[in-house]
Amino acid sequence: MRILGLLLVLLLGISGCSARQFYIDHGYVRLAAAPGRPAVAYFTLHGGPTDTTLVAVHSEFSLRTELHQSMTSGGMAAMKPLDQVALPAGGKVAFKPGGMHVMLFGLNPVIKPGKTMTLQFTFADGNRYDYDALVIAPGDPAPKF
């Protein structure tokens, strides 16, 4: 009987933790193929219990970063900068090749494939989150997560 009561308490505790929490995963940085060109960061944002808005991604290893959206118009590939990206509560927003991504300009040459680099995500509500993204070489396939 005592064990049954303990199991009930544990189950109630676990069910109380079922609210979705914000997190970041599948993050990586692809180095530039040519010197002087920007590197690119990809990742997936998973929304927490409330809507939020991503306003910036920074790295101490980059002089400048920009949120971008890739698109095709009239058979031509193009990019446009984004001021912000909405992340709905419980939703998912993927930054991936051919879509949204972060351009990392002036990347410090100490950053090498196989290492990680910290990306800092800033949201409109002032919250900041750090994520250690894997660094890959220009021609390497995307990591399997």
Render pLDDT for 93-103 as a digit per residue (tens, 0 to 9).
999 999 999 99
Mention every residue, 6+ apart, whose C-beta is less than 8 A from residue 108: 61, 62
Give ∠ CA 125-47-51 in degrees, rounded to 5: 45
> Rounded mean pLDDT of 94-121?
97
pLDDT in the model for residue 2: 52
Question: What pTM was computed for the model?
Answer: 0.85
Average predicted confidence (pLDDT) for the chain: 89
What's the confidence (pLDDT) of residue 3? Answer: 54
- For 50-75, what is the mean pLDDT? 94
Binned at pLDDT 50, 70 and 90, residue 59 comes out as very high
Mean pLDDT confidence for 12-31: 76
